[in-house]
Amino acid sequence: HFYKRFYCLVCCMFRLRPLLVLIPCMQGAKKAKMTQEFPKSLAGFGYGFCKGKLRKLDSEGQFTEEGFQFVDQAHYEALGDVIGEEVYTLLEKQGKLDRVEVGLGKPKSFIFCSSEHMTSDKLVVMIHGSGVVRAGQWARRLIINEDLDKGTMLPFIAHARETGWGVVVMNTNMNTAGKTDEDIPGSESPEDHANTVWENIVAKSKAKNIVIIAHSYGGVVTMELARSFKTDFLHRVSGVFLTDSVHYKLSGDKEVDKKLEKIGKNYVGSDLEVGTPVEKMFGSKDIPRFSAGHEKHEWTSWSAMEEIFKDMEKAGKEGDEKEDEDTKNKAEKKEEL
């Protein structure tokens, strides 16, 4: 038995030899990336946003007609980090949102909110997907290769504010702080972050009519919120509008799931006309699926945007009607007493 096991071990080592050879190379590449210095500003990379599009700057700092040019992956990721900071600034300046710290201790995470987010009757909560994106971004690739309108939440925020909604933009991928990679208490994962934001901000707001707009993994985060805050989802949430969500199940609570099926829509990647019903993947127990009007995952938020605006308007009206009905019922009961 010993020789048989030894033989098997030798065979395995032989088969793994190419991978074992690669490990030092991979470690070296990682170390090189860590030691490589990149600019800390968009201008430092030689770029700027001109009319929403990423454009190269000339030697005098003026915009050219040239767009993004790929150098290598490390350069791309570093540029993406700087663009993340640029979007944060745009949320404040263009979106007129405030940066609000959240967390159970130090270090803290932060989100972006409109000034009336705690007092508005209507509140929209926006949740991005997983990976490298941060608050305000739907798709980094579209920001870099297309424009800010297609890749960010800015058009959604502008519409929400114009139509009287308070705004909360989550930052679910901000789970560690600074160069130390220290976990942020209450934001250790996207789900933890969302729960912390909802418990400390959304739940305490005066909003009687709440709509959630979430992309990709943001749908998974939304289902976690539905599990954690049943009462709010049953009585305050009037719309859940997802774009190509990757959730594979609902909350698991029959009452909440019934509500989600009624008020929810998932705009999925499809070449059908936007808004066309699409067959459900997991049988009848799921949020209804509709075509986003585009096949590619990262385009779904932009391509379904106008439909979502219509959904928001409908959810807002239905929420107001429900509030009026509740007020009427309370008044009638008071008269009976």
> Of the residues 205, 216, 301, 303, which is catalytic?
216
Helix, strand, coil shares of the chain, percent, nearest 5, are 45, 20, 35
Cα–Cα distance for residue pair 312/305, rounded to 1 Å = 10
Instruction: Please name the residue that has the structure tokens 């991928």.
Output: 173
Query: Is residue 14 packed enough to be buried (19+ CB in 10 Å), middle (13-18) or exposed (0-12)?
Result: exposed
Angle between helices 254-263 and 218-228 (to 10 degrees): 130
Judge whether 216 counts as a catalytic residue: yes
Q: Are strands 47-50 and 98-102 parallel, antiparallel or unpaired?
A: unpaired
Cα–Cα distance for residue pair 71/136, rounded to 1 Å = 25
Q: Are strands 98-102 and 109-113 parallel, antiparallel or unpaired?
A: antiparallel
Cα–Cα distance for residue pair 104/186, rounded to 1 Å = 5
Catalytic residues: 216
